[in-house]
Amino acid sequence: MVIPEDRQLNIVVAVKLVPDTNADKRIDPQTRRLVRSAAETVLNPFDEYAIEAGLQLKEQLADGSSVTIVTMAPESGKEVVRKALAMGADRAVMLSDPAFAGSDVWATAYVLAAGIRRIGFDLVLTGTQSTDAITGELPGALAEYLGVPGLTYAREIHVAAGRVRVKRETDTGYQTLSAPLPALASITKSAAEPRFASLKGIMAAKKKEIAVLRLADLEIAQAVGGDGAKLEVTELTASPARAAGKTVTAADGNAGARTIVAFLKERNLL
C-alpha cells in the first residue's frame, strides 16, 4: 500500500490507562496482578509524549490530518481518555469487553492491532513503556501484528512524502531511520514535553466522540484476555532491601572528596 503524498493522515495514538504513579500500589498475592481498583487511574505518563508528537504532526501538516486515540480499557476509563481529547486529539476509540480483561502483552498487542485496523491508520504512535508493567514490548509486538515497520525510541519524528523519518535514541547515540507509511513509531520522553489540556480543550472535549468497540466488532481469531494469555507470572518476590550506605568521615571537605573519588574509581564508576 502506498500512501499518496497529498492525502490527510490518520494518526492513531495507542495509550494505556494505568494506576496513578503517585498512589500506593498493592499486588494481589493470589492473582499476582496489580489491584487496579486500589489506585486511581491516569493516562500512562509515557503515552502523553506520543499524544504530543501526534498533535504536533497534525499541526505541522495542517491539512486536515487527524489524531485518534485508541486504548484497550474498561469503559469506566472514559473520563481518563477524555483528557487526551482535551489535549487536542480529535476522537477516541475504546476497545472494551470483559473478554479482554487479563490480557498479557501479546494479547494486548493483538487486540489493539485489530482495533487499529478497524479504525484505519497511516501512522501509529505509542509511548515506549507503561509505568505499571514496564515491559516495553508492546510497540514492537503491535508493529508486527499490524504488519508495518516499527520505528522505536524516536525522540524526533517527521512525516513527508509518504514516509516517516525518526531520530532514534540508542544507548550510544542516534540513528536516523526512515520508512514508508503506514508505520508505527514509539516516542521517548526526550521528545517534546506534553502540553496541558487547556480549559478550552476541556470544554471542547465534552463534545468529542468516544466510540466503544467490543470483541464482536473486531476481527479476532484467537482467545484473548486471561484465557488467551501466553505469559504467566509464576512468582513474585520483593527486591532485596538496599544495603546501608557508607558514610565518609574526613578532616575536611577536600580530604572527604578525595576519599569519595577514590571509592568511585575503584568501582569504575568514574
* Chain residues in the site for another protein (CB under 8 A): 20, 40-42, 79-80, 82-83, 86, 196-200, 202-203, 205-206
Distance of closest approach, residue 50 Cβ to another protein, in angstroms: 17
Q: Which one, 86 or 213, has the nearer CB to another protein?
A: 86
Q: Which one, 199 or 238, has the nearer CB to another protein?
A: 199
Distance of closest approach, residue 42 Cβ to another protein, in angstroms: 7
CA distance 212 to 160: 32
Q: Which one, 141 or 205, has the nearer CB to another protein?
A: 205
CA distance 73 to 101: 8
67 near 89, Cβ under 8 Å?
A: yes
CA distance 42 to 20: 5
The three grid cell numbers given for residue 65, joined into one nine-digit string: 490530518
Q: Which one, 27 or 202, has the nearer CB to another protein?
A: 202
| Beta strand ranges found along the chain (DSSP E) | 10-14, 17-19, 27-28, 33-34, 41-43, 66-72, 91-95, 123-126, 150-160, 163-169, 174-180, 183-187, 210-213
Distance of closest approach, residue 68 Cβ to another protein, in angstroms: 20
Distance of closest approach, residue 84 Cβ to another protein, in angstroms: 11
57 near 69, Cβ under 8 Å?
A: no
Q: Which one, 242 or 267, has the nearer CB to another protein?
A: 242
Q: Which residues pair with 124 in a beta bridge?
A: 12, 184
Distance of closest approach, residue 251 Cβ to another protein, in angstroms: 26
